[in-house]
Amino acid sequence: MRKGGKGGAVASKSGSDFELKTQDELLKDLISLGYKVTSAEKTGKDKNKYRYINLIDKKNNIIDIYYQGSLTKYFFGQQGVEVKDIFSHSLNPDTAIYSHKTKVLTIIEKKQQNTEGSVAEKLQTCDYKMHYYTTLCKPLKVKVELVWQLGDYFKRKEKNLKSVFEYMEKRQNKLYFGKIDVSELNI
C-alpha cells in the first residue's frame, strides 16, 4: 500500500466494482440458462449486494449462491461443519455456488486491479484455498472446484504472469478473464 493508504483504497474500490458487476452477470447468465430465483437475502448495508440466492431450473436442479461470509454461516454452519473448530480463521470467497445435483461447491475468487500491486500475489494462494475448502467439504461428501475470475488487468499482464497461471491450472484451478462461461461450471 502506498503512503497514506491510497493504493489499497484504489484496489479495494476497483475490486468491489468488479465483484458487483460480475455478481449481476452471473445471475443474468443463470437465468438465461433457465434458472429462476426462489429466494434471496440481501445484505443490510448495500441494496445491490446479496448474502445468498437460491435458484431452481425446469428440471428441478437446485443451486445455491453464497457471497462473502455467508458461505461459512449458511452452507457449512447449517450442515454442522464448524469452521472455527478446524481452522484458525475462515476464508470468505467472493462467490460460491453449490449444486445439489452434482454435489459440487464451486468457489469463485474474483481479482481485479488497475495498477501494479499485490493482488497478483494472491493468485498464488490457490493451494491453501483448495486445502481449506476440501477439508471442510470432506465430511459432507462434496467436491470442490476453484475458479478464478480475473479482470482486464490480468489479461493485459497475462504474458508476465504466465508461470503463475500455468501453475494454477496444473493445480486444477480454472481461470477466466472477464466473464465466466457458466455452461462450463459443474452445476
Write the pLDDT tens digit of every residue in 6-61. 444 444 555 577 887 888 899 999 999 999 999 999 887 776 778 999 999 999 99
Pairing mode of beta strands 36-42, 143-150 = unpaired
Show the 3-state SS of the chain: CCCCCHHHHHHHHHHHHHHHHHHHHHHHHHHHCCCEEEEEEECCCCCCCEEEEEEECCCCCEEEEEECCHHHHHHHHHHCCCHHHHCCCCCCCCEEEEECCCCEEEEEEEECCCCCCHHHHHHHHHHHHHHHHHHHHHHHCCEEEEEEEECHHHHHCCCCCHHHHHHHHHCCEEEEECCCCHHHCCC
AA identity, residue 138: K
pTM for the model: 0.88
Return the CATH fold of 6-184: Restriction Endonuclease (3.40.91)
The pLDDT of residue 11 is 46
* Termini Cα distance of the chain: 38
Write the pLDDT tens digit of every residue in 124-174. 899 999 999 999 999 999 999 999 999 999 999 889 899 999 999 999 999
Q: Please give the grid coordinates belonging to residue 108.
A: 469463485
Parse the chain into domains and list their residue ranges.
6-184
Find out whether 40 and 52 touch, Cβ atoms under 8 Å. yes
Q: Which band of pLDDT confidence, cut at 50, 70 and 90, is reported for residue 2?
A: very low
